Amino acid sequence: MTFFIQENSPAFRAQNTLTEQSWIDAAVQHIIKDSVGDIHVEKLARDIGVTKGSFYWHFRNRQHLLQRVLEQWTERATIRITEWSKLADANENSIERIARLLALPANTSEGNHGAEIELAVRSWARRDDAAADIVAKIDKMRFENFVELISEFGFSEEETRKRASIALAFMLGDAFLKLGLSQADRNANARVCAEIIARPISLTSNFPSARKSKFHSWFRDRKKK
């Protein structure tokens, strides 16, 4: 027996107004709440309230949907960096530009769920090579942005790249950690981090005083036991 959906029914309207983005959004919500393994066409269709036949208007298969999820996350991450560059103020100094980039997570609306989505994608990347390649690409782009900014201070290439890695670690940590800080405090922390990164101290040299520190003595004694 064949069942037909009446043209004036809610189900028919849902089938014909559903876009590719609707399926991608539903998939992203499942990734955030559970994992990529939780994504099944039947389950997504049930959550959206349509038959799974609508899915195949937009995607060849489940893998195609996952590919589009990754592509869209890449596009959004790239656009955020591009938009940051476009907002550059001619009156900003180098420290202010770095602080503004570090503060991107603090100044992003929580309604965008950017941090939650990125955490989910990073978890996905631990088990999937395609996702891992995308995450590595975005991290490299962010890192090179910091390298370009920090190079203006005249440090050596090695020193510049070490400071860029610290800057990227701060930005990601601020995005993912839930410390209950206000937006103003997070912006202030970004400014402090930018000032530390710009300080003319070597992060690549050894610190002779460490040999005489209490910690070094404790560690040396532990090794003897």
What domains lie within the chain, and their CATH numbers? 70-201 (1.10.357)
Residue-wise pLDDT for 53-74, tens only, equals 889 989 999 999 999 999 999 9
- Mean pLDDT over 88-117 rounds to 84
**H helices present in 18-153, as ranges:** 20-33, 41-48, 55-58, 62-86, 94-102, 114-125, 129-150
Instruction: Give residue 98's identity as a one-letter amino acid code.
Output: I
Instruction: Give residue 103's identity as a one-letter amino acid code.
Output: A
Is residue 49 left, alpha or beta, with left meaning phi > 0 and alpha meaning psi from -120 to 50?
Answer: left
Retrieve residue 46's tokens: 């049930």
Inform me whether the pLDDT recorded for 195 exceeds 50: yes
Contact of 100 with 92, CB cutoff 8 Å:
yes
Contact of 99 with 92, CB cutoff 8 Å:
no
- Mean pLDDT over 162-180 rounds to 93
Contact of 155 with 163, CB cutoff 8 Å:
yes
- Mean pLDDT over 168-179 rounds to 92
Residue-wise pLDDT for 1-58, tens only, equals 333 334 344 444 444 568 899 999 999 998 888 888 888 999 899 888 888 888 998 9
How far from chain centre, in Å, is Cα 152?
A: 25
pLDDT confidence band for 203 (50 / 70 / 90): low
